[in-house]
Amino acid sequence: MARSFFSSGALSPALALTSASPPPHPNSSTVSISTQSHSTRLHFTTRPALETPAINGAAARVYVVSDLHTDYPENMSWLKSLPYHNGGQNVLLVAGDVAETYQNFLESMSILRDKFDRVFFVPGNHDLWLRRDKIDYLGSLDKLDKLLDACQKLGVETKPSIVGGLGIIPLYSWYHESFDEERDITGIRIPSLAMACKDYHVCRWPDELKNGETSLALYFDSLNDENSGLVEDILKKCTHIISFSHFVPRQELCPEKRMLFYPNLPKVIGSKYLEKRIRAIYGTEGRQSTCHVFGHTHFCWDAVHDGIRYVQAPLAYPRERKRRMNGGEDWLPFCIYSSGDFTERLSPCYWSDYYSVNPRTPDVTQLAPWVARFYSKV
C-alpha cells in the first residue's frame, strides 16, 4: 500500500506535504522555555519599529508569496526571472519555506532583496531541515539562528515594522498534532506521520522539544513575545495591518480530510497558539482592514473568517504547478495591498472558492473518489 501511495505523487516521502485534486465546481452539489541550552547563538534584539514614510509621495505596494522551494532548479529560475520592483515602497512578504540548504536560502534572499525595496521573512519547516547542508549545525534552532543572522546582514526584516502607514507583523510558529480537532478517517491504512512527514527525521530539536507536540509549537510562539512592544505600537498607529506566518492558524483553511490524498495532513500543518496570537492582535471579531498571510499546504486560499482575511499564495513544487493543482507562477508574487487599501481577492483559488458556496462537513468521512482509489480497506 505504501508503494502505491507514494508512487501516486500524492505525498512524496522526500517532501512532507500533500496535494489534493481540485474540488468540484463551486456551484456543484504560555509555556516559557529558555533558549540558552538550545543554541548558544539564538538571540533576538529588540529595536524600535521602523516607521517609513512613503518615498516621493508613493503609497506602499505589498506583495506576498510562500513556499518558494528554490532547491528545485525550476523554482530558482522563476525567482531569478522576477521583474524588479524598486524605486518606492515595494514590499515583499515571504511566508517561509524558501530553501532547504543554507546556500540556496542565501542566494534566494539576496535575489529578492535586490528586486524589492524591502523584504520580510518568517521561517518554515523546510528552512530548518538539516539533511543536505554541509554545515555542522548543533540542531534546527542553531540553523534558525544562522538564517536570522543572514537576514540581518542582507537587510531582510524579521520583526514588526511600519511601512508608509501600513503595519507588518511577522509571526513565528510551528505545528502540533492536536491542532487537528476534526473527525479522523478510519477503516483504511494511512501511513504514520513519521512515515509521511520528513520533519520527524530531518529536523533536530533539544530533548525537551518534540516534533508534533505542543512543546515545539509553544516554543516558536513564545519567540513572538519579544516583539509585543512593536506590535502595540503598530496597533496604535496603523489602520491597515498585515500579519504573516508559515503555518496555518485555522483548520478551516485546509480541505476536509476526505478530500486529501493524505487524510492526516491537518495534524502537521497548523497551530492553535498561532490563531490565539492573531486574535490577541486583531480581536475575537477581527479588525477592519486586516489580513493574515500563511503558507505550508501549497493550496491557494483567500477567505474571510471571523472578520479577518486569510490568504495563501504559494509557488509550490514544479510538479504541482504542472498539474495545475496548487501553487502559481504567472500571477506571483500576489499584490495584496496597493494605493492605501487591500486588493481584490485572489482568484481562482480552487478550495476557498469551493468552500465559499459549499458548507464544510468534517463529520462526513467517506473518501472523495480521487482519494479512495489509492487506499485499501483494513
Alpha carbons 305 and 254: distance in angstroms, whole number: 13
User: Nearest Cα to 107, choosing from 131, 134, 146, 79?
Assistant: 79
Contact 276, 295 (CB under 8 A): no
* Closest C-alpha among 289, 331, 292 to residue 314: 331
* Closest-CA residue to 154 (of 128, 115, 206): 115
Q: Considering only CA atoms, which of 127, 81, 125 is closest in space to residue 105? A: 127
CB atoms within 10 A of CB 26: 15
What is the amino acid identity at position 352? S
**pLDDT at residue number 96:** 98
Reduced to 3 states, what is the DSSP secondary structure of residue 295? coil
Distance in angstroms (rounded) separating the CA atoms of residues 248 and 294? 6
Each residue's pLDDT, cut to its tens digit, for the chain (378 residues) gives: 333 333 333 333 233 344 455 555 444 433 333 334 334 333 333 333 444 444 434 679 999 999 999 999 999 999 999 999 998 899 999 999 999 999 999 999 999 999 999 999 999 999 999 999 888 999 999 999 999 999 999 999 999 999 999 999 999 999 999 999 999 999 999 999 999 999 999 999 999 999 999 999 999 999 999 999 999 999 999 999 999 999 999 999 999 999 999 999 999 999 999 999 999 999 999 988 999 999 999 999 999 999 999 999 999 999 998 876 667 788 999 999 999 999 998 878 989 999 999 999 999 999 999 999 989 775
Place of cell 496570537: 277
**And the C-alpha cell for 170?**
511577522
**pTM for this one?**
0.87
Residue by residue, DSSP assigns 227-279 as: GHHHHHHHHHH-SEEEEE-SSBS-GGGS--GGGSSSTTGGGGTB-HHHHHHHH
Distance of alpha carbon 274 from alpha carbon 214, whole angstroms:
12
Which string of DSSP letters, residue by residue, matches 11-39?
B-TTT--B--PPPSPTT-------STTT-
pLDDT at position 372, please?
A: 93
- Distance in Å from the first CA to the final CA of the chain: 11
